[in-house]
Amino acid sequence: MSASFGLIMKEAMLYEKLEDKKVKCSLCAHRCLINEGKRGICFVRENQGGTLYSLVYGKVISMHIDPIEKKPLFHFLPASSSFSIATVGCNFKCKHCQNFEISQYPKEHGGDIMGTSITPEAIVVAAEGNGCESISYTYTEPTIFFEFAYDCARLAHERGIKNVFVSNGYTTPEATRLIAPYLDGNNIDLKGSDKFYKEICGAKVEPVKETIKLMKELGVWVEVTTLIIPDHNDSEEDLKAIAEFIKSVDPAMPWHVTQFYPTYKLTDKPRTPVKTLRWARELGLQIGLKYVYEGNVPGEGGENTYCPTCKEILIQRFGFSIIENRMKDGRCSRCGTSLEGVWVR
């Protein structure tokens, strides 16, 4: 493992000092026990002399202005721009990661940390200057750069800018409760069964479900995404279980069923057929979810928002673009039904 020379050393939040200079991290559900001189599973938190440090504080590897629909968040300030940032690293090892070049970078490059140094103040100023109504902590798992995201989010909150996580949901309850007062939206992946998590991601499903429930309980707007991978999580049993879980938390929680394409270490499976996404969407609606969306298939119709009462098309989308928005103050322009979401700036 390479040394951390030249990095901004920021003492980590949410950890416990133990005997023999060991530490226990309580940021994500892995709850890593880290020996002196070693790093956690995420490869960006290092025990130096019995003190745990974040190695990615202010080391931004990716910074873009995205439509909020790209997260995807469909019931959160539609057509607004979100200033999107990430550092290297991840606490998962998903075989199908579309951002593996940065999420797995430290693990695959001897522990090296790449990124451009920037302050929380500069992030918020850039978001303001570019007319962004939110900051998204995305591309890689925001939990692993929690300290930086937390400082950015608090400052953004003071300036009236909303904050969004795009997350695998492996955050501990302690971390969830800490960030929730400053977090407005969270798109959380619910990837499949526990077997899927163990074989494909190196994790477990239950902590993800607990995060979804707790985020909802704490008042954060949550949408759920399931990337449907042929022969891995596309059975009726798998998808029905996900839909029923979401319904048990909140039938109005949007569910995005999204097309997989071969990438990284999972190139032996084809793209998800559109008919599979259509079937999954119909399954979710039949189970009782109010809003189910098809993702990564622009123009197929499953990305539109319909009134749950009169079925009028209220938001017509093509990919990440909104063609027409017929809603008025969060209500159906035809029958007046109020739709759940964050519609007010």
Of the candidates 107, 94, 91, the residue with the CA atom closest to the CA atom of residue 197? 94
Q: Are strands 45-48 and 51-54 parallel, antiparallel or unpaired?
A: antiparallel
- Backbone φ and ψ of 67, nearest 5°: -65, 140
Q: Retrieve residue 21's tokens.
A: 């200079």
Nearest to 190, CA basis, from 222, 143, 231: 222
Q: What is the pLDDT of residues 276-311, one digit of tens each?
A: 999 999 999 999 999 999 999 999 999 999 999 999
Question: Model pTM?
Answer: 0.96
Q: Which of 106, 110, 84 is nearest to 93 (CA)?
A: 106
Q: Interior CA angle at 306 toward 301 and 311, to 5°?
A: 110
Residue 340, classified by CB atoms within 10 Å of its CB into exposed (0-12), middle (13-18) or buried (19+), is middle
- Where do the domains of the chain lie, and which CATH numbers do they carry? 10-54 (no CATH), 59-303 (3.20.20.70), 307-339 (no CATH)
Q: What does the DSSP 8-state code read for residue 118?
A: -
pLDDT tens-digit profile, the chain (345 residues)? 333 444 578 999 999 999 999 999 999 999 999 999 999 999 999 999 999 999 999 999 999 999 999 999 999 999 999 999 999 999 999 999 999 999 999 999 999 999 999 999 999 999 999 999 999 999 999 999 999 999 999 999 999 999 999 999 999 999 999 999 999 999 999 999 999 999 999 999 999 999 999 999 999 999 999 999 999 999 999 999 999 999 999 999 999 999 999 999 999 999 999 999 999 999 999 999 999 999 999 999 999 999 999 999 999 999 999 999 999 999 999 999 999 999 988
Q: Which of 14, 21, 17 is nearest to 54 (CA)?
A: 14
The 10s digit of each residue's pLDDT in 232-281 is 999 999 999 999 999 999 999 999 999 999 999 999 999 999 999 999 99
Residue 179: how many other CB atoms lie within 10 Å: 23
Q: What's the rounded Cα separation, in Å, for the pair 239 and 237?
A: 6
Tell me how far CA of residue 150 lies from CA of 6, 78, 218, in angstroms: 23, 24, 16
Tokens (6 digits) for 267:
């190139």
Within 13 Å, how many C-alpha atoms sit on residue 35's CB side?
Answer: 1
In Å, how far are 15, 36, 46, 51 from 21, measured between CA atoms?
Answer: 13, 6, 12, 8
